[in-house]
Structure 1
């Protein structure tokens, strides 16, 4: 399926947002995720089904300001 992750196009075989995070080696409870502009909470990632052409943002906190 075609997905855009953090602005980059990917052709991946995944079903859920949790699958995508594992496939791309994103780890940690501190990640923030959004699909098509809508926040997806950590508890909902395993149930959130991705579809072709979804836009996913994966954010992590940064130090500084």
Structure 2
């Protein structure tokens, strides 16, 4: 997992497609869904950690631009 697209594809694999229109809100909702998948043991720890890192980096980048 290297990009946000990869994270979206992981979520899509489990039937989750997120688009609110606010990019930061989208990313935060993606993080929440990812946590639920991990807690349900559907995602392994390595994928979870990398996806979480990618999401948080993008949120931080977007907040820095504001």
TM over 0.5: no
Greater strand content: 1
Greater helix content: 2
* TM-score, length basis structure 1: 0.29
* TM-score, length basis structure 2: 0.29
